[in-house]
Amino acid sequence: MLCSHCRKKEASVFFKAIDQNQVIELHLCDDCAEKRGISLVSEPSSLSIPEILAGLSGLGIKPGGLKEQSAACQACGLRYSQFRETGRLGCNHCYASFRPLLAPLVSRIHGFPRHQGRTYRLNSSRNLEELKKKLKLAVAQEDFETAAALRDQIRQAGQSE
């Protein structure tokens, strides 16, 4: 898919928002994203979505095992079968709608069952404060895997400034 701004390069940053039943999409190449103040801090996983989905059979996930044919997001209407074809979720509510189906996939990508996504440097001081709040909460809840991941993100954010 081409960048919706310059229409020359392949888009690598995708934004999708749903506001009162209106879908707003923005597809940017790395250069246009950087010009708009969005710079990637970390690279995405080297595994492609088809490679990851193909590997699900090794995790004991059987096609249709959790009613994936009928699973759909209540917010945007995306069916799980559409996600398997494209490798993209429709909105932020898809994570909750497809949680049982996505948990093994997310665990395989991130090493733990919580989606981390890419980290963008929009407002680094606010982002750092938010990470510290999440770290305190994770420690208080004794979720040490999440706390360790957040600690690493805080360190990485501190090094990049």
Provide the residue ranges of all domains of the chain, joining segments of one domain with +. Answer: 1-39, 49-110, 124-160
Average pLDDT, rounded, for the chain: 72
**Which amino acid belongs to residue 39?**
S
Q: What is the dihedral of CA 152, 43, 35, 27, to 10 degrees?
A: -120
Q: For position 109, what pLDDT does the model report?
A: 65
| Average pLDDT of the residues in 157-161 | 66
Q: For position 136, what pLDDT does the model report?
A: 92
Q: How far apart are CA 69 and CA 146, in angstroms?
A: 31
Span 89-144, pLDDT tens digits: 888 888 888 888 877 777 666 665 655 555 555 456 667 888 889 999 989 988 88
| Average pLDDT of the residues in 25-50 | 65
Long-range contacts of 135-144 (CB under 8 A, 24+ apart): none
The tokens describing 100, both together, are 């049982």
The tokens describing 78, both together, are 């995306």
Q: For position 88, what pLDDT does the model report?
A: 86
Q: How far is CA 121 from CA 62, 81, 115, in A?
A: 38, 33, 18
DSSP state of 135: H
| Average pLDDT of the residues in 131-158 | 87
The tokens describing 134, both together, are 């999440």
